[in-house]
Structure 1
Amino acid sequence: MQGTRSFLLLSLFFFFAANAFGQDEKKSVELKKILEDIKNQYHVKFNYAEDDVTGHSIFPPPAQLPLKAKLIYLSNRTGLTFRQTGGYIVIYTTTKAQKPKPLCAYVLDELGQPVDNAVIQFDSTTKVVTGTDGYFEIPVRVKSIYISQMGYEPVVMPAERPDTNDCLEIILTLAIQQLNEVVAERYLATGISKNKDGSYDIKPRKFGILPGLIEPDVLQAMQQLPGINSIDETVSNINVRGGTHDQNLFMWNGIRLFQTGHFFGLISALSPNLAHDIKISKNGTSAFYGESVSSAVDISSRPQNIGAGTVSIGSNMIGPDFYAKVKPSDNANIEISARRSFTDVLAFPTYNKYSKRIFQNTIVTSLNNSTDVNYKSDKEFYFYDFTTSYHQKIGAKHDVYVDVIGINNKLDFIQGTITATNVVTKASHLSQLTLGGTAAWRAQWSEGHSTEFGMYGSYYNVDAQNESIEFNQITNQENTILDAGFRFSDAKKINPLFTLHSGYQYNEIGIKNSDRINEPQYSRNVKDVLRTHAVIGELEYRPENSRLFARGGIRANYIEQFGMLYAEPRLQLNYALAENWQLEVLAEKKSQSASQVVELQGDFLGIEKRRWVLADNNAVPLQRSNQASAGISFKNKGWLVTLDNFYKKVNGITTAGQAFQDQLETVQARGSYRVYGTEFLIQKQFNDFYAWLSYTWNKNDYSFDGVEPIRFPSSFELSHTINTAVIYEWDNLKIALGSKWFTGRPVTPPLISVPTYNSTGAPSVAYNYPNSDNLDNFFQVNFSASYAWKIFSKVNLQLGVSVLNVFNRQNIINKYYRINTSQNGIEVVNTYSLERTPNALIKLSF
């Protein structure tokens, strides 16, 4: 009840605040009062003679105007001159003849947000770019201007001043001729949209706010979408429509990422400063994406235009981050981003809560008895990531991109004990590293014809050494991936109705697994390599002003080592039934050759226990999926309602790939899973508020060869999931409060409460049928808030706070049973979710 009352009070506050602050001024106001408001909003200082300002009373300028536009607005209505130098503005009167003022304007999108880096061209060679506030100026002699920005319809207009001699207001609309025509501009949050091809777009620069997030973390944000969950609240175990994490394809600028998380899954490995555009597909994936039987997440930090330089420096309670965009010339830019945790030096509450969550029931906290070690004295952990991107425009038609990425997690810990004669200490470590590079060339031959060629290479390595105190045993384990290839694609508009997309892709991947033990001596070194060719063709049907969008494609794959040739058809269809109703049908066949397995639960210190392996077309088969979905959406007057029904079946999975911790843990069997369900979303926007509720139901069953029963629930089945949020955005203030509830995942209980013994007298657990029970339901409330100040005209300060698990609810997210060797009985081991975890952000941008 207390939580309900708090929620209602907060909602009432939002409602009255929106009405109190959201009203436009309807009467004239003294100039001094207007200047005081501008001073507080933009953190500038005015210098003027009292006689020059006194006596002026005018209608205030609109609140959303950029600072320079407001000054011109005031100058036109008072006859005063405003001269800005840095954060100081001098006001004076003059009777001298003035030079013609340049034409000023500012560019906004359809939601009233400024559009930065829009290109304004006013003759054959001269261009200017809008700032972060969307403002620009051009000479008065200009007759017409051309405005363009990626994702928007270009605008051509005469360069004429309005009657009031104020700045022009230019509105850009989303480009309807592009592939990703939107169905919903704001889907769950500002900056997230749903497209007609069934995919979702996330634009971090436009990102609003979501409960528990203070930065645009794509891997956390995608878990808010219906049908996407994480059974253990990590970004390294994201489950899309019942699939495992390795069945998702994660790409950054054409590089496949085999590592997606820091802190072994609690933090995204991708800096929120990076991406310009993120595309997520749950079904109906383009034929240009392979190597996944579940979703595809394509992250691009490649802008179409050379934008203005910018720098941001920030930090949260885990570590600092840095981002810079530098222009060495008018036709080139360099982008650099970097993060490095200070967790090996400082231990804020956020770090302590993360440590307690991620290291429980692992070797770090003693796998045998689940007791926590002293984190400060026995363990040192840190992570870092960096990216560097170079963009060069060559003439008006060609772009060249070069990108580099690095991701690293590093853990060192010491175990110690005191014997009768001495003190024994053992040092263990775990490192997880990703390095990747890519280069691409893109040509826009004409409005309806473009070509792209790119090559890439990546290296992934997880390396662990465990020195055991109890047995004087040293275990070394390593999992290494080398992935390289190249891609070619071409898009040509055949006629006003059809566009043909074609391409070719080549990929070579090698995966090595190594294990070494000193006592008893054991060594294993296995390396597998696969080379794959893919030919792609897609035909897109999009007549102008038509209700129908359709795209059909086929991907023909050939794996050299298996001599295997097979085709994967894809389909996306969207039809406008009426003005506010749309029907969507998606279908696909996909495959993947690389997957993750768990050989022993204690591998890699029990933390990163999954290792990548390649299909051998025998014990580890090629995974193949079939999926179809049909949905309908309604959008009108701030309401958005969507309903999707789906069916998916994946063949070629193994018991090792499902990480069982029961009687199937040591069983080697092949099989499949089948999942079907419904996803529902209702969303309403009113004034500065919007709220949404999503519900997902699914039925997910396994079937393995030789395993009884024939069908049983999947370990990744969450039968019912409900997400809710109430979000308030007013000016630079953003507040979000939301909750997440889902039914407990399936687990396998013991058949009897005492051990059974084999012929040698060894005790073991006698289990019931696999996944015949469920954990308790999961419930969590999350909160976040942020505010941005414009300190100077080009300097912004952002502050943010978030709290995960506001009510500190103790949720069990995993449970398994084992023999207690000291008591010779069966004990239960629970893994608990994250406790109440605060975080804070400060970021300076200029």
Structure 2
Amino acid sequence: MRLNIRHFLLFSCFFFFAANSFGQDEKKSIELKKILDVIALQHNVKFSYAEEDIFGHSIFPPAATLPLKAKLIYISNRTNLLYKESGDYIIIYTGRKNDSKRLCAYVIDEYGQGIDNAVIQYAGDKKIVTGRDGYFELQKPLNGNIIVGQMGFESRIIKPQDFSGEDCKEIVLSLEMLELKEVVTERYLTTGISKKKDGTFSIRPDKFGILPGLIEPDVLLAMQQLPGINSIDETVSNINVRGGAHDQNLFMWNGIRLFQTGHFFGLISALNPNLAHEIKISKNGTSAFYGESVSSAVDISSRPADIGKGTASVGSNMISTDFYTKVKATENANFEISARRSFTDVIDLPTYSKYSKRIFQNTIVTELNNSTDVNYKSDKEFYFYDFTGQYHQKIADKNDIYVDVIGINNRLDFTQGTITETNVVTEISNLRQLTLGGTAAWRRKWSDRHSSEFGFYGSYYNVDGTNASIEFNQVTKQENKILDAGFRLSDSYRLNPLFNLKTGYQYNEIGIKNSDRVNEPEYSRSVKEVLRTHALIGELEYDSEDRKLYSRAGIRGNYIEQFAMAYAEPRLQVTYMPDNAWQIEFLAEQKSQTASQIVELQGDFLGIEKRRWILANDKDIPVQRSRQASVGVTFKDKGWLVSLENFYKKVKGITTYGQAFQDQLELVQQQGSYTIVGTEFLVQKQFKGFYAWLSYTWNDNNYSFNGITPDRFPSNFEIKHTVNSAAIYEWHNFKIALGSKWYTGKPVTLPLNTAAADIAPNAAGIAYASPNSDNIGNFFQVNFSASYTCKIRDKVRLQLGVSVLNIFNRRNIINRYYRLNNTSDAIEVVNTYSIERTPNALIKLIF
């Protein structure tokens, strides 16, 4: 493993050193003809010229980042040649220059990217705007100064004499950090991801750039690139934020809590990437308006403030096809519809084959003493679909009405067989997973200082499985059903320019039903529980006059009717920015949740979706409570971003059933807690169209359960060390990303012997070592993605993309457990492997 780590470190360092190599200009004269050939490729144009006109001209090449017109002026000034544009053709010729030259310039940001639609004000009140590449021209002579500005950037004043050089002037605009009170860091990891002043991370799918392995803005896969967020089994249905379990995260879509987040049982997000307008992710210091989670909160909002214009898209990758449309019904109303369906039940493409092999891995187990393989073969028919519908109505300028619906469905028919000494045995199982939700909301803007919102919601979740066992001729029917409904009222009032007061009330009723029926031996169970919760919320925001200090303090008061339980949850967030480069942040919170997931048996729901939701009963299943605090510092200047954050988190009220043990604790039911301390570090460099980043996360995550020895041992979700890296290049509409992920293997409990032992009177089983006292092998994966968007005609674009997961086809073990062979009493080891090398491709038409 030492060799693998060395290769990984060399591979990560390559990203940073390669950037410097790519950025160096070759300082030597080059024939003009070769320079024109390069420019033609860079800007997709064609040059027309007479050979005798350009013969003998040799100059230093212009910088690759210059706009096309700036390059033409650069060449003209050094060769005395003239140019004329005619469509996609540029004619180069000799002639007499006009003495009435134009002044030319181009406007770029701090990273060398052209700023589109920057406003150029000159000669008093005359205005023009820059083109897509930031270029503009002005006619001589000029009277007075020129003001260059764009929203989100600091304006600059340019004097006419500043255009004294022969070439086009480069005007750099800096981000206006202090005026945007919420935004602290733009382009966090990639375009479309930013960190806000309140400590949350924001993802804008419509602005999304590219990340390694992703060709679409899949929010649940993208968030796993953030430091401190990982998936212990590489799925979106098992996301671990700072060592927490997946069910300890709150996922909301337009106010609806989602109990199902993945298709393909976690390999694909259940949320259509065409849909969301903004996603907010909070790891700590969560707003008091969010409850029911002891870990992170992920709020997905697809409600725009304005009616906007109509648009549509249709696309397909190698798993599914999708459709999205936004129709402007009237000047004050629109509706949006999105739908996606897999074609995996019709066409078996390579991507589906790899995904299928990962999720439905044939069970191959090996006896430790003689390495005998036992194989089970399977056949399956699987598909999924999801849809959303949204309606937005504006009434006058002060009222907005929203109505939203969502549906998510997975369906699997699973035939499993094996060959015995006498015959072939087959059994048919099936699994259905369904989510339906709806919400309506009314927003009222009473004045510039005062606004309110009222909304109600309801959601239904059901997973229904039939598991037919080959070994025992046993059929088990299971169902996990949730009905969640409630309403919310919130009010925001700006007391003065420095203070903003937010208050609210939330009511929620949730019912969860669990049913089991077994044919042999005959058994039936049905349990239904209901909880009703009230919450009063108060939150005060402070933003200093110089915008250097921002603070948000809130408190959430909860009351659970069935338990007659009342308790408060304080939240605090403080950000101090001594200047534009430095930011210091402190976050703290207390949170709770009443609904959680458990694993009663690893074979439940075919062993694929084995977790079931349950409600706290204030007895053997308590309300989970968490405390968390973190302090961090961020430096951002001249394309560098460096951040360091240390955190502490403790969660009480967990149970062994909720932690998915697969060792001596699998059938033990005890209450306990886990405590985690950790560090998250990120360094990122951006310049021109190239940027690279490297992140490192360390954590120490330990359980403590009543009556279990030892009294402290590693968590099932502990990933001690994680290193992520990526190199991304964006040039106009072309984007490419290469990245790697390395982390230490999850804890595992080893057997003490190779055969069954007497663990109780007249009971043979596996004698285990101390829980989680060892680890499986380290995980390493390299991913690639690229995309290109071309304009077919006005308002019509074609997007193409390719990606490859696990380029080197590394066989990573992501889970391991042990079991007894039914006939020989030998101990068998069962490994689950990560996804193999998996290609994917995307084609999408946007109009």
Q: TM-score range by the shorter chain?
A: 0.7 to 0.9
Task: Give the deviation of 1:470 after TM superposition.
Answer: 3.9
SS at match of 2:251: strand
Q: Which residue of 1 aligns with 2:183?
A: 181
Task: Count how many residue pairs are aligned between Structure 1 and Structure 2.
Answer: 799
The correspondence of residues 342-421 of structure 1 with structure 2, limited to 5 A, is 342-360=343-361, 378-416=379-417
Greater Cα shift, 444-453 or 803-812: 444-453
The correspondence of residues 571-720 of structure 1 with structure 2, limited to 5 A, is 571-720=572-721
> What does the per-residue CA deviation read over 1:306-346, in whole Å, with 9 as the maximum and x for residues that have no partner?
22222222211111122212111222222222211111112
The amino acid that maps onto 2:673 is S
- Say if 2:15 and 2:727, in contact at 8 Å, map to a contact too: no
SS at match of 1:356: helix
SS at match of 1:290: coil
The correspondence of residues 226-375 of structure 1 with structure 2, limited to 5 A, is 226-360=227-361
Q: Which residue of 2 aligns with 1:98?
A: none
> What does the per-residue CA deviation read over 1:468-505, in whole Å, with 9 as the maximum and x for residues that have no partner?
34433221100011111111111111012211011111
SS at match of 1:446: coil
Task: Give the deviation of 1:427 after TM superposition.
Answer: 2.2
Task: Give the deviation of 1:446 after TM superposition.
Answer: 2.7
> What does the per-residue CA deviation read over 1:82-123, in whole Å, with 9 as the maximum and x for residues that have no partner?
999xxx99x9xxxxxxxxxxxxxx9999878899999xxxxx
Q: Distance in 1 between matches of 2:456 and 2:108?
A: 36
The correspondence of residues 437-476 of structure 1 with structure 2, limited to 5 A, is 437-476=438-477
Task: Give the deviation of 1:606 after TM superposition.
Answer: 0.4
Q: Distance in 1 between matches of 2:458 and 2:570?
A: 27
- Say if 1:41 and 1:789, in contact at 8 Å, map to a contact too: no
> What does the per-residue CA deviation read over 1:45-92, in whole Å, with 9 as the maximum and x for residues that have no partner?
99x9x9xxxxxxxxx99999999999xxxxxxxxx99999xxx99x9x
Q: Distance in 1 between matches of 2:421 and 2:407?
A: 47
Task: Give the deviation of 1:132 after TM superposition.
Answer: 11
Q: Which residue of 2 aligns with 1:499?
A: 500
> What does the per-residue CA deviation read over 1:560-609, in whole Å, with 9 as the maximum and x for residues that have no partner?
11111110000000112444222111000000000000000000000000
SS at match of 1:490: strand
Q: Distance in 2 between matches of 1:810 and 1:491?
A: 53
Q: Distance in 1 between matches of 2:420 and 2:747?
A: 43
Q: Which residue of 2 aligns with 1:523?
A: 524
Q: Distance in 2 between matches of 1:37 and 1:321?
A: 38
Q: Distance in 2 between matches of 1:683 and 1:229?
A: 19
The amino acid that maps onto 1:427 is I
Aligned-residue CA RMSD (Å): 4.7
The correspondence of residues 720-735 of structure 1 with structure 2, limited to 5 A, is 720-735=721-736
Q: Distance in 1 between matches of 2:131 and 2:625?
A: 48
Q: Distance in 1 between matches of 2:307 and 2:493?
A: 25
Task: Give the deviation of 1:173 after TM superposition.
Answer: 6.6
Using a 3 Å threshold, how does the CA distance of structure 1 residues 312 and 646 change in structure 2: closer, same or farther?
same
Q: Distance in 2 between matches of 1:176 and 1:440?
A: 33
Greater Cα shift, 265-274 or 322-331: 322-331
Q: Distance in 1 between matches of 2:548 and 2:323?
A: 45
> What does the per-residue CA deviation read over 1:528-554, in whole Å, with 9 as the maximum and x for residues that have no partner?
111111110001110221321111000
Q: Distance in 2 between matches of 1:567 and 1:363?
A: 50
Task: Give the deviation of 1:420 after TM superposition.
Answer: 9.9
Q: Which residue of 1 aligns with 2:783?
A: 782
Task: Give the deviation of 1:751 after TM superposition.
Answer: 2.3
Greater Cα shift, 288-297 or 772-781: 772-781
Q: Which residue of 2 aligns with 1:57?
A: none
Structure 1: gaps spanning 5 or more residues: 51-59, 71-79, 92-105, 119-129, 136-146, 156-162, 164-168
The amino acid that maps onto 2:308 is G
- Say if 1:364 and 1:373, in contact at 8 Å, map to a contact too: no
- Say if 2:813 and 2:831, in contact at 8 Å, map to a contact too: yes
- Say if 2:715 and 2:772, in contact at 8 Å, map to a contact too: yes
Using a 3 Å threshold, how does the CA distance of structure 1 residues 739 and 62 change in structure 2: closer, same or farther?
closer
Q: Distance in 1 between matches of 2:230 and 2:216?
A: 19
Q: Which residue of 2 aligns with 1:539?
A: 540
SS at match of 1:604: helix
Task: Give the deviation of 1:754 after TM superposition.
Answer: 2.5
The amino acid that maps onto 2:784 is F
Q: Distance in 1 between matches of 2:394 and 2:16?
A: 49
Q: Which residue of 2 aligns with 1:103?
A: none
Task: Give the deviation of 1:239 after TM superposition.
Answer: 0.7
- Say if 1:209 and 1:736, in contact at 8 Å, map to a contact too: yes
Q: Distance in 2 between matches of 1:172 and 1:733?
A: 24
Using a 3 Å threshold, how does the CA distance of structure 1 residues 696 and 62 change in structure 2: closer, same or farther?
closer
> What does the per-residue CA deviation read over 1:435-459, in whole Å, with 9 as the maximum and x for residues that have no partner?
1111111222333222111111111
Q: Which residue of 2 aligns with 1:834?
A: 835
Task: Give the deviation of 1:519 after TM superposition.
Answer: 2.0
Q: Distance in 1 between matches of 2:462 and 2:696?
A: 38
Q: Distance in 1 between matches of 2:498 and 2:351?
A: 54
Q: Distance in 1 between matches of 2:478 and 2:582?
A: 55
Q: Which residue of 1 aligns with 2:846?
A: 845
> What does the per-residue CA deviation read over 1:144-197, in whole Å, with 9 as the maximum and x for residues that have no partner?
xxx999xx6999xxxxxxx9xxxxx99997796776332x11211111111121
The correspondence of residues 134-149 of structure 1 with structure 2, limited to 5 A, is none
Q: Which residue of 2 aligns with 1:97?
A: none
TM-score of the aligned structures, taking structure 2 as reference length: 0.83
The amino acid that maps onto 1:745 is K
- Say if 1:325 and 1:334, in contact at 8 Å, map to a contact too: yes
The correspondence of residues 812-831 of structure 1 with structure 2, limited to 5 A, is 812-831=813-832
Q: Distance in 2 between matches of 1:113 and 1:20?
A: 17
- Say if 2:178 and 2:580, in contact at 8 Å, map to a contact too: no
